[in-house]
Amino acid sequence: MLRHGRAGVPMEVMGLMLGEFVDDFTVRVVDVFAMPQSGTGVSVEAVDPVFQTKMMDMLRQTGRPETVVGWYHSHPGFGCWLSSVDINTQQSFEQLTPRAVAVVVDPIQSVKGKVVIDAFRLINPQSLMLGQEPRQSTSNLGHLNKPSIQALIHGLNRHYYSIGINYRKTALEENMLMNLHKQVWTEGLQMDDFRVEGGRNNDRLKKLVDLADGYEKRVKEETELTKDQLKTRYVGKVDPKKHLEDVGQQLIEDNIVSVSRQMIDKEASAPKEKSCANGHVNGDAMDVEEEL
The model scores a pTM over 0.95: no
Q: How much is the pLDDT for 278?
A: 55
* Domain ranges, ordered by start, for the chain: 2-169, 185-291
The alpha-carbon radius of gyration of the chain (Å, integer) is 34
Could you tell me if 70 and 29 are in contact, meaning their C-beta atoms sit under 8 angstroms apart?
yes
Q: How much is the pLDDT for 290?
A: 43
Show the beta-strand stretches assigned E in the chain.
Answer: 12-21, 27-39, 67-74, 101-105, 117-122, 160-163
Could you tell me if 102 and 82 are in contact, meaning their C-beta atoms sit under 8 angstroms apart?
yes
| Candidates 3.40.50.300, 3.30.2010.30, 3.40.140.10, 2.60.200.20; CATH matching 2-169 | 3.40.140.10
- CA contacts within 13 A on the Cβ side of 271: 2
What are the tens digits of pLDDT across the range 10-50? Answer: 888 889 999 999 888 889 998 898 887 755 555 545 677 78
Q: Strand order in 101-105's β-sheet?
A: 27-39, 12-21, 67-74, 101-105, 117-122, 160-163
Helix, strand, coil percentages for the chain (3-state, nearest 5): 50, 15, 35
Helix orientation angle between 194-224 and 240-291, rounded to the nearest 10 degrees: 160
What are the tens digits of pLDDT across the range 125-167? Answer: 776 666 666 555 555 555 556 777 888 888 888 888 888 888 8
The mean pLDDT values, 10 residues at a time, for the chain of 292 residues are 84 89 87 76 63 86 86 88 89 89 90 82 77 57 68 84 82 79 77 88 92 89 80 77 90 91 84 54 48 43
